[in-house]
Amino acid sequence: MTQDHRTRWNVGAAGLAVAAALVLPACSLWSDKPKPAALESLTPSASVTALWSASDGRVEFPMQAGLSGGRVATAASDGTVTVRALERAAPIWAAKAGARLAAGVGFDGERAAVVTVDNELVVLAKGQVSWRKRLASRVSTAPLVAGERVFVLGLDRAVEAYDALDGRYLWRLQRSSDPLSVNLNGVLMPMGDTLVVGQGARLVGVDPTRGSVRWDLPMATPRGSNEVERLADLVGPALRLDQDTVCARAFQLAVACLDVTRGALRWTRNAGGVQAVGGQASVIVGGDGSDRMSGWRAESGELLWSHERFLNRQLGGVATWGNWVAVGDGQGQVHVMDPATGKTLLRLSTDGGAIASTPRVAGSVMVVTTRKGGVYAWKAP
């Protein structure tokens, strides 16, 4: 779901090996949008340094900034991709993908990968397009660039791999899927020597060199009387707690943590939200469909706290920032909280545009982007 709480669903044509998909027009899950809760009076109890801000152009897709090697890659809907040093606003390079964008940005510190509305995967480096490939499915998840490969997760839930150097096709993993999927950033992440993918409500470990399945584990059980109610796609980015544990949101259904080494679900809690969860080794934090925030004990899923201070503020995904968590809202505010208590420690303002994606963090630096095209970087002590 985008930052204004609209969802697009992908509809695959039954019987086709490749989803000849059409994406339904954006439609709200709420017929009348409630008024956002007023911001509470706040005396900051934490401080950060504003490093820089810039404007890259409007963002109208589920963009996820890419961070790697002390650099950040961002993109605008018009196809412009910009790479900066993490602590400086001046671009290292900028380039055009040649079409409007539907998803991005994957980034390994050198190469940036985006997907256009024409279903083309475009890889750029040093200010130029390196290569482009036509994809079989629409894409909303930012590609992953890792291990000299580019991985793409389609709305038909198929995963494809390409050689990052020349775009050579490597493999495709197609699993059986439901006819509907959610037009959100899904789960596509490295975990040791395994590619971790969200396919529907299941978390799948894939051999990145061959495309074979190493493990396949359910994180939620879809339920409902129709296809829309049974949607339970995993929403990215997922949260990796340690070398064994991944936590994620199943769309409109649950928050769950999975021990991939043991192949066991550690816990699951009904939580009808639509955005990614964040947190730390001890606490998982996320919002529900009304933007009620909750914190669960990471070990057991026990509810530690819940508050309604951000009701209907159109929250995005939660990011971990040092000892804090941060979440952006639809009015361009970033709320920094203590994950143990849910207390708001600090509020950061942007250009007033909705925060376009889950904040991204590298070390002590957090980067957010807005729908108006603003890019902001802050550094924690």
pLDDT tens figures, 160-185: 999 999 999 999 998 766 666 677 88
Q: Is 173 exposed, middle or buried (0-12, 13-18, 19+ CB in 10 A)?
A: buried
What is the C-alpha end-to-end distance of the chain, expressed in Å? 32
Q: What's the pLDDT band for 158 if we cut at 50, 70, 90?
A: very high
Distance CA 38, CA 220 (A): 34
Cβ contact 213:173 at 8 Å: yes
Is the pLDDT assigned to residue 355 strictly greater than 50?
yes
> Residue 17's pLDDT is what?
31
Cβ contact 298:247 at 8 Å: yes
Is the pLDDT assigned to residue 315 strictly greater than 50?
yes
Give the lowest-confidence range in 2-16, 89-103, 361-375. Answer: 2-16
Is the pLDDT assigned to residue 27 strictly greater than 50?
no
Distance CA 57, CA 137 (A): 26
Cβ contact 110:125 at 8 Å: yes
Taking only the tens place, the pLDDT of each residue in 266-298 is: 999 998 889 999 998 899 999 999 999 999 999
Residue 136 domain flag: yes
Residue 284 domain flag: no
Tracing tokens 């550094």 back to the chain, one arrives at 379
Quote the domain boundaries for residue 134. 9-15+59-181
Residue 105 domain flag: yes
Residue 147 domain flag: yes
> Residue 177's pLDDT is what?
63
Tracing tokens 């925060």 back to the chain, one arrives at 355
> Residue 162's pLDDT is what?
98
**Nearest partner of 301 among 283, 325, 319, judged by Cα:** 283
**With pLDDT > 90 as the criterion, what percentage of the chain qualifies?**
75
Is the pLDDT assigned to residue 353 strictly greater than 60?
yes
Taking only the tens place, the pLDDT of each residue in 33-91 is: 789 999 999 999 999 999 999 999 999 998 899 999 999 999 999 999 999 999 999 99
**Nearest partner of 34 among 370, 354, 330, judged by Cα:** 330
**Nearest partner of 119 among 93, 99, 92, 138, judged by Cα:** 138
Instruction: Report CA torsion sign: 89, 91, 97, 98.
Output: positive
Q: Is 90 exposed, middle or buried (0-12, 13-18, 19+ CB in 10 A)?
A: exposed
Tracing tokens 């545009």 back to the chain, one arrives at 353
Q: What's the pLDDT band for 239 if we cut at 50, 70, 90?
A: very high
Residue 128 domain flag: yes
> Residue 87's pLDDT is what?
92
Number of structural domains in the chain? 1
Is the pLDDT assigned to residue 104 strictly greater than 70?
yes
Cβ contact 271:258 at 8 Å: no
Residue 203 domain flag: no
Residue 129 domain flag: yes
Q: What is the CATH number for 128?
A: 2.40.128.630
> Residue 221's pLDDT is what?
80
Residue 380 domain flag: no
> Residue 243's pLDDT is what?
86
Average pLDDT rounded to a whole number, residues 111-132: 97
